[in-house]
């Protein structure tokens, strides 16, 4: 798997990801490029300097910014890892569940939101959804190196398990009650749906409640990652003001 772009490569290095080799465009002289090269050297990472045309050929996203790192496949976490992480931080679990997100740009943006907001982990389906690939990593701007992502076989069964562990599960959809009238503090998991289809019918029926964002325009839905950001930060607002 390839990690492309300065932010993504820098965060992968900081996170201690196993980088098999780092391709760097020849002739880069700016300070940020040199800092990144020096950091890679200090970690003992093999660096290969290549012409820009060679990096263009290697690039998957076509936006490598002069840096492409080749790593072993993305290492997924388990649900237990996410719950243990919350316990280590002495915080109530705060989990995102992406139900059928197929666009890697959306998943990348969701991981970026999750990392910025202190979400303990993100759950994605094992099938019929995008995995953490090169585009996801690039769009996440390095967040994928720090956010725990777990693949689960069945979203509905996982929701039931979370509920048994005392975690309230809400899905974000158009037909719910206003998010501003729902208590999102404490141990919470929030389900966001994929592009177009939204949250699946069975998934929704398993949740403790459905929350929605008020819409005042002619378009009745937001991009999945944008909606995620709004919901996540409403949870943070409630927690900080409680």
Cβ-count burial of 157 within 10 angstroms (0-12 exposed, 13-18 middle, 19+ buried)? exposed
pLDDT at res. 175: 83
Strand partners, 209: 170
pLDDT for residue 220 is more than 80 = no
Q: Could you give the CA distance from residue 18 to residue 12 in angstroms, rounded to a whole number?
A: 8
Q: Which residues touch 239 (CB under 8 Å, ≥6 apart)?
A: 184, 185
Buried b (16+ CB within 10 A) or exposed e, 71-86: beebeebebeebbbeb
pLDDT digits 0-9 by tens, 160-191: 999 999 999 999 988 889 999 999 999 999 99
Pair 19, 71: CB distance under 8 Å:
yes
Q: Edge-to-edge strands of the sheet including 47-50?
A: 2-4, 67-71, 19-25, 47-50
Is domain 2-71 classified as CATH 3.40.50.1580? no
Per domain, the residue ranges of the chain are: 2-71, 79-241
Above pLDDT 70, what percent of the chain? Answer: 99
92: left (phi over 0), alpha (psi -120 to 50) or beta: beta
pLDDT at res. 74: 81
Q: In the structure, what pLDDT confidence band is assigned to residue 88 with cuts at 50, 70 and 90?
A: very high
Residue 61, helix vs strand vs coil:
coil
For the domain 79-241, what is the CATH superfamily, name and number? Answer: SPOUT methyltransferase, trefoil knot domain (3.40.1280.10)
Residue 124, helix vs strand vs coil:
strand
pLDDT at res. 28: 92
pLDDT at res. 185: 94
pLDDT at res. 72: 74
Domains 2-71 and 79-241 share a fold: no
Q: In the structure, what pLDDT confidence band is assigned to residue 108 with cuts at 50, 70 and 90?
A: very high
pLDDT at res. 160: 96
In the predicted model, what is the mean pLDDT of residues 118-141? 90
Q: Could you give the CA distance from residue 155 to residue 6 in angstroms, rounded to a whole number?
A: 34
pLDDT digits 0-9 by tens, 14-67: 888 788 889 999 999 899 999 999 999 998 898 999 999 999 999 988 889 999
pLDDT at res. 81: 96
Pair 204, 173: CB distance under 8 Å:
yes
Q: Could you give the CA distance from residue 122 to residue 77 in angstroms, rounded to a whole number?
A: 9
**Taking the model in full, what pTM does it have?**
0.79
- Biggest CA–CA distance in the chain, Å, is 57
Q: Could you give the CA distance from residue 75 to residue 145 in angstroms, rounded to a whole number?
A: 10
Mean pLDDT for all residues in the chain? 91
């Amino acid at each position: 798997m390839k990690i492309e772009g300065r932010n993504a490569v820098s965060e992968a290095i900081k996170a201690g990801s196993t980088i098999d080799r780092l391709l760097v465009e020849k002739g880069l002289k700016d300070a940020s490029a040199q800092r990144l090269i020096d950091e890679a050297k200090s970690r003992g990472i093999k660096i290969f300097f290549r012409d820009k045309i060679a990096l263009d050929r290697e690039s998957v996203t076509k936006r490598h910014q002069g840096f492409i790192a080749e790593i072993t496949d993305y290492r997924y976490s388990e649900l237990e890892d996410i719950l243990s992480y919350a316990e280590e931080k002495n915080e109530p679990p705060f989990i995102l569940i992406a139900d059928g997100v197929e666009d890697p740009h959306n998943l990348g943006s969701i991981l970026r939101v999750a990392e910025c907001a202190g979400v303990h982990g993100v759950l994605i389906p094992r099938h019929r959804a995008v995995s953490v690939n090169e585009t996801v990593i690039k769009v996440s701007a390095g967040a994928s190196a720090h956010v725990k992502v777990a693949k689960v076989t069945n979203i509905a069964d996982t929701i039931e398990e979370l509920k048994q562990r005392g975690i309230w599960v809400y899905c974000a959809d158009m037909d719910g009650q206003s998010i501003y009238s729902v208590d999102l503090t404490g141990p919470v998991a929030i389900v966001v749906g994929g592009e177009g289809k939204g949250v699946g019918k069975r998934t929704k029926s398993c949740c403790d409640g459905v929350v929605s964002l008020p819409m005042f325009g002619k378009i009745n839905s937001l991009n999945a990652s944008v909606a995620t950001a709004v919901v996540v930060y409403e949870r943070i607002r409630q927690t900080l003001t409680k």
